Structure 1
């Protein structure tokens, strides 16, 4: 059995940094990466010279701007965020609630934008954070429209619980995903914290595939899903069209707009936007 390759070791150094550990000294990087101090010193030096890491005056290392520049090229990262932001801001201005945009990465949902609302709910989200797909509204929206084989494998796997309301039964999750496909929205009720509810809708790319999801998070006690659902669907539809999705040109004429029954006249006052 061979040991870690040079690329593996390099990536393990970068993986030592996360939201809980944004700044590390050389010893901490060595420990978290599982590498000798000598190897870590050599790799950190190369990464710092290239710009992937930066060293401050105290000798502590941080992620460098060169990685941010590369991340900006990711079609599901900053590029998507830039296109979606006007629609997310419209949704926020109409509701003043927590608004988020997320994409799927394996079995997790990763948040690429977050607009903090006035509601004092136990939101454990920040840009770059990830949660299991089954436990969030955006995750359910992405999973429901994902590859059927992946859905089957996910539902058969271990479903982590965070509150008494988290979906942990495969049969119930399958029913929930079917309901998401039927209604065009996903509702996650108190699955991460016991005071928050989220309503999410899928965002489609130009070819009709679901590439992201947008949601709004509100206090469970005050949630009015029939009012929130049309607003979220309109935001998701706006982002989809900005990405080039045109439901009237769907393949074979069979792909319907999940939100086609939602007219902007259904939105709360002040929510309507002019379609570009």
Structure 2
């Protein structure tokens, strides 16, 4: 009778893993901010095309602002439409969809500031007649978290959630001054407790802003007013500055500073 011989075959792990030299530790994963997915960044670039407040864009404009080929922009826009980030009108124009608005509400709610900030802005607008805004720093941009429009027919118009640069504007100087700003304008803002800008971001716009703090002196953001230079010149801005500073201090106390 033939004898059957059995041989134990060790289980082979078919998962592919990169070879690593013995004795050398595995390379650590890069920080989250350095991990990138280019397709996601291109899709986000389409959304950033509306960051200046533009309501509607044709595909050619959208792709040009995002730095993409129209064919690439069209494919990415399709995915953004499916998830509610974009809406395409019957005339072929694109506009932001409901999802950014919903996420923006969640973003603002995360700060838990609205109950105190909105009344403060209302008081500032009543006392100055100019548009009030509360700004926070996000990376290398400032975000208008809350705003209260001026009742005057000629006024500064800015949307909540609008992103603006950090290198010019009164609120930008305050945000930089109380984070990591080292320029002379930041030193001045820290020294006097407020910042004034005349025609920096826009030659026709002036602004005054002051810092707002929370518990344990934690810096939260900048509150201020903005308006046309013809109404808010250098003299008027310095007159309004004490009102802005006083409101910033009151708001800081209400927020636990």
- Indicate the TM-score class for this superposition, using the shorter chain for normalisation: 0.5 to 0.7
TM-score (norm 1): 0.64
Distance (whole Å) between structure 2 residues aligned to residue 193 and residue 41 of structure 1: 33
Tell me the CA shift for residue 83 of structure 1.
Answer: 3.8
- 1:141-200 CA-partner distances (Å, limit 9, x unpaired): 2221112xxx23xx4xxxxxxxxxxxxxxxxxx1x4333223322233454466765332
Residues 82 and 19 from structure 1, CA distance in 2 versus in 1: closer, same or farther, beyond 3 angstroms? Answer: farther
- 1:229-276 CA-partner distances (Å, limit 9, x unpaired): 33212321333344x323xxxxxxxxxxxxxxxxxxxxxxxxxxxxxx
Tell me the CA shift for residue 86 of structure 1.
Answer: 0.8
* Structure label with greater radius of gyration: 2
Residues 65 and 79 from structure 1, CA distance in 2 versus in 1: closer, same or farther, beyond 3 angstroms? Answer: farther
Distance (whole Å) between structure 1 residues aligned to residue 57 and residue 172 of structure 2: 31
Tell me the CA shift for residue 65 of structure 1.
Answer: 0.7
1:228 paired to 2:240: yes
Gaps of 5+ in 1: 156-173, 247-276
Distance (whole Å) between structure 2 residues aligned to residue 100 and residue 209 of structure 1: 19
Question: What is aligned with 1:177?
Answer: 186
1:33 paired to 2:66: yes
Q: Equivalent residues in 2 for 1:49-198 (5 A)?
A: 49-75=82-108, 80-81=113-114, 83-112=116-145, 113-116=147-150, 118=152, 123=156, 127-147=160-180, 151-152=181-182, 155=183, 174=184, 176-192=185-201, 197-198=206-207
* Alignment coverage as a number of residue pairs: 217
RMSD: 3.3
Distance (whole Å) between structure 2 residues aligned to residue 222 and residue 120 of structure 1: 20
Distance (whole Å) between structure 2 residues aligned to residue 239 and residue 120 of structure 1: 28
TM-score (norm 2): 0.68
Distance (whole Å) between structure 2 residues aligned to residue 13 and residue 192 of structure 1: 24
Residues 192 and 55 from structure 1, CA distance in 2 versus in 1: closer, same or farther, beyond 3 angstroms? Answer: closer
Residues 97 and 46 from structure 1, CA distance in 2 versus in 1: closer, same or farther, beyond 3 angstroms? Answer: closer
Contact 2:210–2:223 under 8 Å retained in 1: yes
1:8 paired to 2:26: no
Distance (whole Å) between structure 2 residues aligned to residue 88 and residue 239 of structure 1: 10
Question: What is aligned with 1:238?
Answer: 250
Residues 18 and 186 from structure 1, CA distance in 2 versus in 1: closer, same or farther, beyond 3 angstroms? Answer: closer
